[in-house]
A and B are shown apart, each in its own frame.
Chain A
Amino acid sequence: MTEQLPVRLVGITKRFPGVVANDGVDLDLRVGEVHGLLGENGAGKSTLMNILFGLYTPEEGQIFVNGQPVIIDSPAKAISLGIGMIHQHFRLVRPFTVTENIILGLDSTPAILDMKAAATRVAQVARQYGIQINPNARIENLSVGEQQRVEILNSLYREANVLILDEPTAVLTPQEAQDLAVTLREMASQGKAVVFISHKLDEVMDVTDRVTVLRRGRKVFEAMTADTSKGELAREMIGHKLEEFKREQKAFIMALTGAGEVTAAGDGSAAGHHEAAAARPVLTVQNLVVNDDRDLPACREVSFEIAAGEILGVAGVDGNGQRELIEALTGQRPALEGHISVNGKDATRWTPRQVIDHDVAVITDDRQGEGLLLKTSVARNTVLKLFERPAFAKRRMLRFGAIDSFAEQLVQDYSISTPGVQVAAAKLSGGNQQKIILARELSQSPALIIANKPTRGLDIGAATYVHQKLSEERDRGAAVLLISADLDELFALSDRLMVIYSGRVMGIMPIEEADLERVGLMMAGTSDGGRPTSEQVTP
């Protein structure tokens, strides 16, 4: 090796209870390079960089800085090694000026401050990297983009050679993001090594020299940015070990059920369901327009329908309108334009209660925040949507006997592993918590099931169980809307696949016509070039 790498990570493994956040990850940072770290939410990008910055200690692996093995056990240590990190949430004292924030906590700051000299130095460093900032401005008067510049300047002032930016553009306007890109290039050209964490493909293509993709805690791909493409990166982010996954899953189901009766995702699931797809539509969405929390368009003229006995998969990178679509369908977000109907009834303005009462089940992607009351018993969690029905309440008094035996039945039917139905839901494992939600949502034989990343954070066994249940429901005649960031899951379960990007439907296709290349491109925003889809938008 002729040049010393400023940072080498070798075999980094970090486990959290129940999850392997990083699994033997290697990463080299080079002088003068902007290195993109790409991956879905939860892929382990931030964990890896928090390890480099001394916020977490890895269980395994070694970090080398300038060729020397080091142990980084605190951010102070990282900073002393010339590593700086700009977090998504800024760590600035708002009433202080830019200069005051930068010299804050520096050992070299004298007891009697010479603010003028300090401001001059700050201005000098800023000029060196082409950063536009007034050293005497108060933080509270600065825009978010300017505050981020202060954070960057802060690291540069401390003579960082390695700068880590954790999703820096998430908070920026497009113009500010462009300014940031210029600054990052300038820093690289002056010999800094920059890590740029993102899940946005366009930015990574624009800003970085080299890109590494993490998926489920593993490094799955590394290339020079010039040698790769958005489509390839999208596929790497989402995964392409479909066959392997199917085999794994099939073997697991065989082990579970003892023999061949594989109803789940294993075999060509789409085959037997084509006549079903011609059946009556359960959910029809026409030209739906929904805004996000900032009142910006999140779903733009979305149209699709799902028939009874059909699973419609929705593929798309996180944050492309999936959440807003679900909230609109479940009555939690107003539809600004367009039309939703469920079983022929106008559902555009339904309240969440009306949605539930019309046999729509929702499997949330946030089981601990939205799906379950963790401190409440398993039994009560199973009736959260049902407790006002006559089966569980008589003259407005809860029938605890009925509730307990209902819960006990579900625990049996869904093989929920729990010491008892009076135990708090928090005591159960993630997989068993998800089973409570499945049991609750599926127990009433819903007509429509909206499943949002139903296997998020689950191990293969629990995930397979969820897949099996969803297939069973489809076979029973339910319509299923399956939203997932996991292409393997979508390919394994869907009858048809819809791809959304930036709130728009890029195309809807039968699963046999979907291939990874095409879906990956559509997910990256390239419209379905040339190849005719058998159904556009509404069939």
Chain B
Amino acid sequence: MTAIARSTKNINWPGVGRSILAAALSIALGLLIGALFLLFSGQNPVAAYTSLLKGAFGTPARLAETFVKMTPFLILAISVSISFKCGVWNIGAEGQLIVGAITSFWAAMTFHFLPPVLLLPLTAVAGMVGGTLWSGIAGVLKAYFNANEVITTSMLNFIAVYLLAYMVNGPLKDPEGFNFPQSRLIPESLELPRLLAGSRLNIAFLVALGLVIVTLLFWRSTVGFRMEIVGASRRVATHVGLNVKRTIILVSIISGAIAGLAGWGEIFGVHFRLIEAIAVGMGSLAVVVALIGELHPLGMVVSAFLFASLVVGGNAMERSAGVPFALVDVINGSIILIVLARSYLFRGWRS
């Protein structure tokens, strides 16, 4: 891809090498600390980690499952990274994903008479519009009332979570669903095509990878540069004639649309219906994935893959090695802390 080729042209390779080495050492250190926790709780760390690795990469099906988990992480991280680069601390990806899921599901049900070839793109657009609506609220509040977006987006997350809970327990509840808090299934014709038979891996994963390329191009566009200027300094941006308010609203719209697309991917690619726990914890994880990927699209591919492996492998570790999932969380937490502290831990060789 020429976009990747061009954007890798000016890369400082020794610097990248050091970054990767630092990240790898951080992960190793995090796993080591996890191993100590495992030892103290009477588990065999070798067996536990073996099951983690096998669970995440052991078979093509397991690897496919890791890619399935990676998809929303990556899309949300891209959404978050665009806001962050513009200096907008949008932590509302979770709420935007949820609202995007609801609106795309609603579109599928409302326009069911359309042929799938029209309806499926329409649902994707509906998901993006939903995400945009949600992030746009915070964007307008930020631009015109200087409301702190960290607070508004996290409050909007709560509203979205309870809105979804209301929907799947109320108006959108499946009448034949044995009273489970979930909606009806979408028509089979709208399910996203699978990439690997017998797995849940679907073309939403390709959408995520496509988004990586689009984002690489985006940062080479005038709009992307404008956002970078606003993110680097509002004062400079105003001085050079940029409309800061409009840029903040635009970045909210773009971030929200991408997060809404993640919601669409989860509904039409994985769950095929609205469920209550569609996005639990994904918002904060997306922030971590974005920051560890240093807000670079390719960096986020790596970090999204890493966290997806930990989640999928951790599930397997719980099942086959009997390690409680709480301990998996502890290991994940140790890795996150050390990876985030790596610039301090390994600052000596970042000359």
Contacts and interface: CB of A to CB of B under 8 A. Distances in A.
Interface in A319-369: 330, 332, 351-353, 355-357, 362, 364, 369
B236 A352 contact: no
B222 A385 contact: no
B242 interface: yes
A384 B236 contact: yes
B241 A396 contact: no
A385 B241 CA distance: 7
A372 B222 contact: no
A271 interface: no
A422 B10 CA distance: 9
Contact of A369 (B221, B235, B240, B242): B235
A362 B236 CA distance: 12
B10 A388 contact: no
A380 B219 CA distance: 13
B239 A364 contact: yes
Contact of A373 (B10, B222, B236, B243): B236
A156 to B, nearest CB: 41
A30 B63 CA distance: 82
The secondary structure that dominates the B interface is helix
A372 B239 CA distance: 10
A352 B221 CA distance: 22
B240 A384 contact: yes
Interface in B82-104: none
B220 A353 contact: no
A388 B222 CA distance: 6
B220 A370 contact: no
Contact of A387 (B222, B238, B239, B243): B222
Contact of A398 (B221, B235, B236, B238): B221
A370 B233 CA distance: 8
A397 interface: yes
B225 A372 contact: no
B232 A376 contact: yes
A474 B164 CA distance: 66
B217 interface: yes
Interface in B219-252: 220-223, 225-226, 228-229, 232-233, 235-236, 238-243
A371 B241 CA distance: 12
Contacts of A116: none
Interface string B160-192: 000000000000000000000000000000000
B232 A396 contact: no
A90 interface: no
Contact of B241 (A353, A400, A422): A353
Report which residue of A364, A370, A400, A422 has the largest number of chain B beta carbons within 10 angstroms of its beta carbon: A370
A375 B239 CA distance: 17
Contacts, number: 60
A393 interface: yes
A393 B236 contact: no
B240 A398 contact: no
Contacts of A369: 233, 235-236
Given A373-B236, A396-B221, A398-B225, A356 B241 contact: yes
A369 B237 CA distance: 11
Report which residue of B217, B222, B223, B228 has the largest number of chain A beta carbons within 10 angstroms of its beta carbon: B222
A396 B243 CA distance: 17
A371 B225 contact: no
A469 B229 CA distance: 27
Contacts of B241: 351-353, 355-357, 385
Contact of A352 (B10, B222, B239): B239
Contacts of B217: 397
Contacts of A362: 239
B232 A356 contact: no
B225 A380 contact: yes
Nearest to B224: A398
Contacts of A376: 228, 232
Report which residue of B228, B233, B236 has the largest number of chain A beta carbons within 10 angstroms of its beta carbon: B236
A330 B240 CA distance: 10
A351 B225 CA distance: 20
A370 B225 CA distance: 17
A238 B202 CA distance: 73
A453 B235 CA distance: 18
Report which residue of A351, A362, A373, A422 has the largest number of chain B beta carbons within 10 angstroms of its beta carbon: A373
Contacts of A353: 241-243
A150 B236 CA distance: 39
A377 B220 CA distance: 14
A244 B228 CA distance: 46
Contacts of B242: 352-353
A397 B221 contact: yes
Contacts of A388: 222, 226
Given A387-B222, A388-B222, A400-B220, A351 B243 contact: yes
A396 B236 contact: no
Contact of A370 (B229, B232, B239): B239
A398 B233 contact: no
Contacts of B226: 388
A370 B237 CA distance: 8
B222 A384 contact: no
A353 B247 CA distance: 14
A397 B239 contact: no
A388 B223 CA distance: 9
A386 to B, nearest CB: 9
10 contacts: A351-B243, A352-B240, A352-B242, A353-B242, A370-B233, A373-B236, A396-B221, A396-B222, A398-B220, A398-B225
Given A362-B239, A370-B236, A397-B221, 5 more contacts: A353-B242, A357-B241, A371-B236, A373-B232, A398-B225
